[in-house]
A = this chain, B = another copy of it.
Amino acid sequence: MRAVIMHSPGDVHVEDVPDPTIVKPTDAVIRLAASCICGSDLWPYRGVVQPNHQAMGHEYVGVVEEAGADVRTLTPGDFVVGSFMASCGECEICRSGFPSRCARRGRDGINGMQAQYARVPLADGTLVKVPGQPNAAAVRGLLAASDVLGTGWFGAVAAQAGPGKTVAVVGDGAVGLLAVLAARDLGSERVIAMSRHADRQELARYYGATDIVEERGDEGVAAIKDLTDGHGAHSVVEAVGTQESFLQAVHATRPGGHMGFVGLGHEVRIPGLELFNAQIHMLGGPAPVRNYLPDLIDRILAGSMDPGRVFDLTLPLNDAAEGYRAMDERRATKVMLTV
């Protein structure tokens, strides 16, 4: 089969590799319908971490090709969406709402989704069956649900977005934009998108942003306070992950408010006194997307949300290298690869 391999930073090729097979009886093998390139795929591309020479990709929708002997809920032919983190769905941590930290997963991860086929571990707990065979528009939305929408949704849930709340979103990448959508769909009264790019501001407004703040850092915080009687936002989603953006989010949250953070870089060091003096609730980490998939699938199939619009470049799998270049050069916000 064809798969995207990164040999060294910046060196992406689509190559023939062996087809994946069932390794454990809880595995499924899926035939990919679509995949995408993630902001985190740019870390090895830019040499921030070392490429591992495995097939890339962890965002996916596809059709079950083969199910292991212990898989109970899926059969070949089922159209499925999965989280970017494998999860058993049964351990104490999964059941408490944190499948992204499944205690039984061990080293079994999700990868190799920029390919024609892929092995999915813990298939019953990781994949969700979609009713019927979705059309092209639904496929785009479901693909977003697998990571960027699920992650933006978690950011908004972690920030306790909801009725009566003013929510600020730091970051206008795909996750930030979909956090705006999530905040609005969760019923928030006011959603402030922090963005200085006209095209992303437009998409933020399409997704329900009521206000745009272009300033960053202390000026951005001051602008949020001006919009919130001097208190700061009830809820802030941090969707960038730098030192500056993290502290901007901390300072933009009112005392007693909630901050959700969905990405943090290796170099970030948070001054303890900043956390202490802010006195805000914080929750972050890899999104427990699996929690939200059934609800998100319903919303996408019902046509009540359109997360697929974040894909501003769609390429066939064979052109993945151009997709990486476009993301790296910021010519694209989010690249979809059709298989």
Contacts and interface: CB of A to CB of B under 8 A. Distances in A.
A281 interface: yes
B282 A231 contact: no
Contacts of A98: 255-256, 279
Interface stretch (A64-72, A186-194, A257-265): A257-265
A284 B273 contact: no
Nearest to A241: B272
Contacts of A97: 256
A216 interface: no
A226 to B, nearest CB: 15
A270 interface: yes
A248 to B, nearest CB: 14
A229 B91 CA distance: 11
B268 A101 contact: no
Nearest to A285: B279
A281 to B, nearest CB: 5
Contacts of A243: 272
B279 A282 contact: no
Interface residues of A, number: 41
A283 interface: yes
Given A93-B255, A98-B256, A103 B276 contact: no
A82 to B, nearest CB: 19
Contacts of A285: 255, 275-279
Nearest to A280: B283
A99 to B, nearest CB: 10
Nearest to A264: B272
A269 interface: yes
A294 interface: no
Contacts of A271: 268-270
A126 interface: no
Contact of A281 (B254, B273, B278, B283): B283
Among A243, A281, A284, the one with the most B-chain Cβ atoms within 10 Å of its Cβ is A284
B100 A279 contact: yes
A264 B270 contact: no
A268 B273 CA distance: 8
A277 B255 CA distance: 24
A266 interface: yes
Contact of A103 (B101, B230, B269): B230
A265 B256 contact: no
B256 A93 contact: yes
Nearest to A284: B276
A269 B266 contact: no
A275 to B, nearest CB: 6
A324 interface: no
Interface in A194-247: 229-231, 241, 243, 246
5 contacts: A93-B255, A264-B272, A276-B284, A277-B285, A282-B283
